Amino acid sequence: MSRKLRKFLSYYRPYLGLFCADLGCAFIAAGISLSFPIIVRHIAQNILGTGLTAAIWKPATLMLALTVIEYCCNYFITSKGHVMGARMEHDLRNEIFNHLQKLSFNYYDNQKTGQIMSRITNDLFEITELYHHGPEDLLISLTKLIGSFIILFRINIQLTLVIFTFIPLMIGFAFYYNRKMRRAFRKNREKIAAINAGIEDSISGIRVVKSFANEDLELEKFRENNLRYVDSKKDSYHYMGRYHSGIHAFSSLIYLVLVMAAGLLLEGGRINSIDLLTFLLYINVFLEPIRKLINFGEQFQNGLSGFDRFYEVINIAPDIVDKKSAVELTQVEGTIEFRDVSFRYHPNSPEILSRLSFKVEAGEYVALVGTSGVGKTTLCSLIPRFYEVSSGSILLDGRDIREIKLKSLRRNIGIVQQDVYLFAGSVLENIRYGKPEATVEEIVEAAKKANAHDFIMELPEGYATDIGQRGVKLSGGQKQRLSIARVFLKNPPILIFDEATSALDNESEKVVQDSLEALAKGRTTFVIAHRLSTIRNAQRILVLTDEGIAEEGTHEGLMAKNGIYAQLYKMQFKN
């Protein structure tokens, strides 16, 4: 059994009892369907025309009882079976979401949000439809096919053999087109994922779209993606059309051959009219599972192509994981040391950082400056292990950060970025994200320290005010102060400010800068700043170039050197 098949079947394990009950009901319902023509045959042979009309009540009562049982079985299949499918979908979604949380920034740098969403929603729905309906439809079909074959064989061997000569041809036909459909359905999934990615991109950037009056451009891009999806659908419907029409053609041929063979047998006296009537009734029972198999073929390919895409993601190994010997941090002083650190995003990409070495003492306030692209943000992203160093090591209080559990490491680092991400919800919920178990009093205290309390109280519902998607109802400075309050609440010993004030106006910058400086007191702090006026009070400034650290010192010392830093500073303030 292949690894993928074992993985596919493993999701039945928690619901094995329910699954067996579902299949049991499917088997009973199929058996009841097979029994009705036999009862009709009994009535026609032994009751009708014999003057024992009163005896019809017994088989009629039996048929009524069987109908009630069939109703209960079908209800269980439809109700409880679908609940099982929903639970399996829940398990699949939990697993893929949990796995996505473990993947590093490297994965997300190369993926579109809409495509990831498509795997979590559309693909999983198709998989669970297969999980629920697949085995059940297959069992019903096989039960009816095998049962009808046995019964038909006992009624008339010659007619049965004539009909079942079509079975190998139908299986070969179905197998060939199922393979074609699987490839086509996989392409469909890729195209619908591209559409979702485009929609997500357009809606997220709706303000940019409207500011450039580019609604027509976005519509054209959407139409192109939509047209590619239709083209891929054409291929799948082409094969599906051949598959469906071929199976239906086989069904019609069976009827045609049956009528011709039955005529010859009736003429030769080798079958009576009652047996022929029963035979015709069973042909319908025989053809019904074939129709189910038609639906199963489409369902199977849809589900399997969805599982292929699900399995692809699950099989991506996280490139940043805890070692077995990794430890929890207890008391953190905050000394950070880079030892001969080099980094590149991919094995074949150029180095962003090369053999970088420096040490930041506990509680020290260090600023990183340099032109765009020299690796300031990348350097800071290596400290919480958002990316893994290519060579060398980063030490926290003398311990390699790869020897520390990821959650423990990141719990001790607070990050304030230029592009603040706030979640849809209230002000209170967004600040509490820094410490989920925090009390309201702790949240208010953090907001006060971040100079955010006053503006929060002026909002329509104070801390309960809904701030909209990504905090769209707040100004840039207000959003930044909420993000600072979040870090105040987290209370980490190490801070990273990544151009936290560069997008703000002067008034907002002053308020936010005061909040940042209050937050930085007594903590090891890394500041990335384009506005050099905000880092004049830094204890140490590191000037990064493509060659590494070109200069370091205080603002006054670097200005006196009249080197790279002085040139950058004068360029900003030449007016």
Structural domains in the chain plus CATH codes: 87-314 (1.20.1560.10), 336-572 (3.40.50.300)
Instruction: Please state the rounded mean pLDDT for residues 476-485.
Output: 86
In the 3-class helix/strand/coil scheme, how is 492-545 assigned residue by residue? CCEEEEECCCCCCCHHHHHHHHHHHHHHHCCCEEEEECCCHHHHCCCCEEEEEE
pLDDT tens digits, 184-216: 777 777 777 777 777 766 766 666 666 667 778
Alpha carbon of residue 379 to chain centroid: 30
Tokens linked to 540:
């140490």
Tokens linked to 4:
């993928």
Q: pLDDT band for position 115 (50/70/90)?
A: confident
pLDDT at 565 over 80: yes
Indicate left, alpha or beta for 294 from its phi (over 0: left) and psi (-120 to 50: alpha): alpha
Q: For residues 236 and 155, is the Cβ–Cβ distance under 8 A?
A: no
What is the chain's mean pLDDT, rounded?
83
Q: In whole angstroms, give the CA distance from residue 294 to residue 127.
A: 17
pLDDT of residue 428: 93
Instruction: Classify residue 94 by burial, with Cβ atoms within 10 Å: 0-12, 13-18, 19+.
Output: exposed
pLDDT tens digits, 286-303: 777 776 776 677 678 778
pLDDT at 52 over 60: no
Q: In whole angstroms, give the CA distance from residue 534 to residue 501.
A: 8
pLDDT of residue 388: 92
pLDDT of residue 399: 93
Alpha-carbon distances of 166 from 115, 180, 282, 293, rounded to whole Å: 43, 22, 16, 15
Q: For residues 15 and 82, is the Cβ–Cβ distance under 8 A?
A: no
Q: In whole angstroms, give the CA distance from residue 465 to residue 428.
A: 8
Instruction: Please state the rounded mean pLDDT for residues 302-321.
Output: 86
pLDDT of residue 260: 82
Instruction: Classify residue 231 by burial, with Cβ atoms within 10 Å: 0-12, 13-18, 19+.
Output: exposed
Q: pLDDT band for position 18 (50/70/90)?
A: very high
pLDDT of residue 500: 67
Share above pLDDT 90 across residues of the chain, in percent, rounded to a whole number: 22
Q: Which of 20-24, 241-245, 367-371 has the lowest mean pLDDT?
A: 241-245
pLDDT of residue 487: 87
Alpha-carbon distances of 334 from 33, 366, 398, rounded to whole Å: 74, 13, 10
Closest CA to 398 of 445, 339, 352, 354: 339
pTM: predicted TM-score of the whole model, two decimal places? 0.73
Alpha carbon of residue 301 to chain centroid: 20
Backbone angles phi, psi at 513, to 5 degrees: -65, -40
Share above pLDDT 70 across residues of the chain, in percent, rounded to a whole number: 93
Instruction: Please state the rounded mean pLDDT for residues 33-56.
Output: 71
